[in-house]
Structure 1
């Protein structure tokens, strides 16, 4: 089965611009209100809602003074006036092509002409267009237009100015225009159908005609998606209209065998939904995201072409875009996300009005006079040479990790995206790679496929090389007694393994504590930074024995530095034996109170006068340094034995 995705599928220019504005503004405001649905796609609205973009269906739902985003479909002029009265700060995400229609309608109506709008009555775009004049007539079909003349609602000599919904079916527009030219003697026609719509519909026709099955992706409320579905139905026997991959029944598709399957999507369908659907259709097919799913408008300017590298002057910087003067009539701009791949890049620190800037032309449209540019693509072009040289010369590259995905992480270096597989991140399997995001990392370039724009890197290779060099240095200088700061890498029942900077050494359980422990975890944990010293070496077999407990921490040394024979100490009864009781003098050092030294009278058992956990005063009557033993007496304190006269 061959799966083909329309090049024009997904976000058009106006929708992408609106979504980008919403995302940027949401970062700057705790709450951002969008008046009406920003675009016709429930999934995208939900995604933006999670970022703090609230959809308000009425003006009253929006508090006074709030920050408001105008939807891509545009709104009536009265809405702007209402928000001004409420003291709201307004950001306008109206599609530039729709905004142009607003200007046409306002100017034509002011000139005393009747406004005719061809499109879907009640659609948000139509409601917005009609709101820029006092009265407009909307016709959905050529039949309705013909009936208006027959019923006297329109006269042949009426001064008519005609605009169309940007997503109107080109065939319906052409038929309606013929009727108007035939019936009306004073008619001005403004072809306001978006070029992207024409391209999208033309490609849908071509794809549907060559496919045994078509999948049309988009919200059920989307007019342009419905038209793609209608076009596909006329040319393809099997057409599925779905909103997301969850609605796709793969078994229904696979029954068409090896027939070609075409996929197209409405202008409000995000690329991630298209990718989900396409991935379900063909696991082996790799479909690029981003511009491959965007509407590519028809190249029509002779002086400036798509893909051309240009130099211009920055004339304005806003939260969403940078305006650039290219010395042409058209307005050029760079969306904020086309400035740099570096997440730490600060626009206000790097871009200022008057700066000269290099960029690549992404899209040119003379219908609205807009040129979309990308600075980061220039950086990428230069960066490719640097990246290729780094691989050839096996030099280390530094980049910032910008995202994590299921297979690894993505870094940017010199404007080029570098994929680092999970196995090459240097992060253990049981740990999250998310900690790498937004950090600067060093890596080697291991694979380059410029045609597929694929670059693969390895952080692990740099770490291994550094570790090897460090290990060689350590083996050259290591001696018994050397001290190191290391990291606990693993624990076993018999000890702990510690990385001392390139090589591993082991601390035996007996060297972890002066007291008795059952497991190394009682003293250290994996990941702990510890200070160790070398107590044994086997350079031939590359084995190192490490010590952790310090002489200054030796409980016996602590005891002898504080007490001597004849001193009195407060001790804690630990356990009883037939011949007496053991008591703790300091942590790690116990003393024996013989049964004859417990009381000033004869007793048969130690527990007749003492209890476990009880603290009592006892006199130190003997210290055996060689055997590390201490003898104690309570009786001596009771009878005064050994006291000086």
Structure 2
């Protein structure tokens, strides 16, 4: 049995940066709160919680004062910063630079088109932390679309500016872009005049799609390791499944089923941008020491 871990899988820069900042802050011995799960991977969240990281939600943040709170890579809307200022909370800002740049672009676009009755549309997952931060730049006026069923929320007789959550599928974004152009034409408009689209998907994320397609074809079985909350994980697992029917999604080694693997299989282990390398190594060790071997 041959087992290979995809060398391109594992943390993206933004997630790695946030976790390192959390560990550095906790090393000082001061209490550290984190606004939401620091990463969409329960195994990593549990590891950091054991070191003292306290996960809180936005309601709990309102009750805090005179403490340190970490903002994770997904970023936050402006009201979070104002609340911290009001409550004398020191923010450890681990927002991903790519996300921060996108927030600034969305705000600039909104400020530019709001007076012209234009619409900011964000292709992303409803309720996702990054999307909440992006819509916050528009006073929550941005329209969020996840699929074709959401297009009816857009007024195609008015100007549209489209952005994407940084971790969405490139293929999905361009499908939405094409559908919006079709709707504008159907409404009697001209896309060149009333539609501006911005591919704001992180290239560190989007470049993993072609890499994973190649990796999935080279093995008999794909074991994809990711947190169930990870939007990026769901998208990348879908890529693996398209290329290799014997692709399986697991959160940890305990979810691996014996029927998936044969002793003669070539096995590939990969994961999302929120999957730690130590967890993929743990999955590899489990398979190596199991009866399949």
How big is the shift at 1:225?
A: 0.7
1:104 pairs with 2:111? no
RMSD: 1.8
Task: Give the secondary-structure state (helix, strand or coil) at the position aligned to 2:7.
Answer: coil
Residue by residue over 1:74-107, the C-alpha shift from the partner in whole angstroms, topping out at 9 and shown as x without a partner, is: 1111111111100111111111111111111111
CA distance in 2, matches of 1:75, 1:34: 12
How big is the shift at 1:39?
A: 1.1
Selected match of 2:120 from 115, 124, 128: 115
Residue in 2 that maps onto 1:179: 179
Selected match of 2:204 from 185, 196, 199: 196
Q: How does 1:107-506 map to 2 (within 5 A)?
A: 107-111=108-112, 112=114, 113-134=118-139, 135-145=141-151, 147-148=152-153, 153-156=154-157, 158-182=158-182, 183=184, 184=191, 185-249=193-257, 251-255=258-262, 257-282=263-288
CA distance in 2, matches of 1:49, 1:259: 37
Q: Which runs of 5+ in 2 are unaligned?
A: 185-190
CA contact (8 A) 1:165 1:193 kept: yes
Tell me which of the two structures has the higher relative contact order, counting C-alpha pairs closer than 8 angstroms and 6 or more residues apart.
2
CA distance in 2, matches of 1:254, 1:34: 39
Q: How does 1:8-19 map to 2 (within 5 A)?
A: 8-19=8-19
How big is the shift at 1:143?
A: 4.5
CA contact (8 A) 1:35 1:59 kept: no
How big is the shift at 1:216?
A: 0.7
How big is the shift at 1:3?
A: 2.3
CA distance in 2, matches of 1:93, 1:40: 15
Structure 1 stretch 46-55 or stretch 75-84: which is displaced more?
46-55
Task: Give the secondary-structure state (helix, strand or coil) at the position aligned to 2:34.
Answer: strand
Residue in 1 that maps onto 2:78: 77
CA distance in 1, matches of 2:119, 2:150: 17
Task: Give the secondary-structure state (helix, strand or coil) at the position aligned to 1:28.
Answer: coil
Kindly indicate which of the two structures has a greater share of residues assigned to strand. 1
CA distance in 1, matches of 2:181, 2:2: 45
Residue in 1 that maps onto 2:187: none
CA distance in 2, matches of 1:253, 1:92: 42
CA distance in 2, matches of 1:171, 1:260: 29
Residue in 2 that maps onto 1:91: 92
1:43 pairs with 2:43? yes
CA distance in 1, matches of 2:28, 2:198: 38
Residue in 1 that maps onto 2:55: 55
Aligned residues: 275
CA distance in 1, matches of 2:150, 2:82: 33
CA distance in 1, matches of 2:250, 2:78: 34
Residue in 2 that maps onto 1:554: none
Q: TM-score, normalised by structure 2?
A: 0.88
Q: TM-score, normalised by structure 1?
A: 0.41
CA contact (8 A) 2:221 2:261 kept: no
CA contact (8 A) 2:122 2:142 kept: yes
